[in-house]
Amino acid sequence: MIPSSAPPRLILASSSAYRRELLARLQLPFEAISPDIDETPQAGEAPQDTALRLAREKAAFVAARFPGALVIGSDQVATLDGLQIGKPGNHARALEQLQLMRGRRVVFHTALCLWDSRALEPAAAAQIENVQVFVDFRDLPDAELDAYLRIEQPYDCAGSAKNEGLGIALLARIESTDPTALTGLPLIALSSMLRRAGVPMFGL
C-alpha cells in the first residue's frame, strides 16, 4: 500500500439502498456508484462462488475508474438445498419462493470484497470473505405469506423477505457471526477489512 496522510476515497460499488443505509452506520464519508456488470451465475458455479465472484467484480469494476480509492463490493445469494434463490421481481414469484421456503432452512451467502486500488501489486488489492447466514422460516399458511407480500412488497430481495422490516415475523431463527450480513452488507467483516486497509475508525 502506498503511504498517504489523507484517508482514501471510500466508494460503495452498489445501487442498493439497503447497503447504503448499512454502510452509513460506520459514519465514514463515502459515495455510492453502481457497477455495470453482468450478474448472471455461470454454468455449474456453486452459489457461494457466484457471490464471491460478483462481489469482487463489482469492486474491481469501480476501482478501475477511481485510482487510489477503497471500493466495497458485495453480493448475496440465497440457497435452499444447494439451489440459488434470486430476487423474485414480482408478487407471484415471491409467493412461490416463500411457499418453497416455509418450514425450511435457507442459507444466505453474503460475499464482501474491499478493493484497495493503492496496492502496489494487483494480486494484493482485494480482501474478500463470504459470510454465511442460516435462516429458519416459519411454517406459515398461504394467506399470511400473501398478506405479508402485499404490505412490504420485498420483490427486490433475495428470499422475498426483509428481515430489517416486517419480514422478521416470517423467520423463526437466524444464525450468523455477522448480524448485518442478512440485510446485505456484513459490517463486522467490513470493519476488520477497513482497519487492515488503514482506515481510521471513530474519527481518530
Q: Is 2 a residue whose pLDDT tops 80?
A: no
Which contiguous run of DSSP H or E holds residue 110? strand 105-116
Tens digits of residue pLDDT in 75-102: 999 999 988 888 899 999 999 999 999 9
User: Which positions are catalytic?
Assistant: 75
Q: For strand 105-116 and strand 70-80, is the pairing parallel, antiparallel, or unpaired?
A: antiparallel
**Is residue 66 in a domain?**
yes
**Is residue 203 in a domain?**
no
> CA-CA distance, 169 to 138, in Å (whole number)?
8
Q: For strand 171-175 and strand 10-12, is the pairing parallel, antiparallel, or unpaired?
A: unpaired
> CA-CA distance, 185 to 123, in Å (whole number)?
23
- Residue 126 near residue 62, CB atoms below 8 Å: no
The pLDDT value given to residue 204: 73
How is residue 69 written as a grid cell?
480509492
All residues at 6 or more sequence positions from 203 whose CB lies less than 8 Å from its CB, including other chains: 27
Q: For strand 126-137 and strand 10-12, is the pairing parallel, antiparallel, or unpaired?
A: unpaired
The pLDDT value given to residue 167: 96
- Confidence bin at 1 (pLDDT 50/70/90): very low
Domain span at residue 188 reads 10-196
Helices (H) and strands (E) in the chain, counts: 5, 7
**Is residue 42 in a domain?**
yes
Q: Pick from 77, 34, 76: which is nearest to 59 by CA?
A: 34
**Is residue 170 in a domain?**
yes
**Is residue 1 in a domain?**
no
**How many folded domains does the chain comprise?**
1
> CA-CA distance, 100 to 84, in Å (whole number)?
12
> CA-CA distance, 140 to 104, in Å (whole number)?
11
For 199, other C-beta atoms within 10 Å of its C-beta total 18
CATH of the domain at 127: 3.90.950.10
Q: Percent of the chain, pLDDT > 90?
A: 79
**Is residue 4 in a domain?**
no
Segment 147-169 mean pLDDT: 94
Report the predicted TM-score, pTM, of the whole model to 2 decimal places: 0.90
Which contiguous run of DSSP H or E holds residue 195? helix 187-196
How is residue 85 written as a grid cell?
434463490
**Is residue 80 in a domain?**
yes
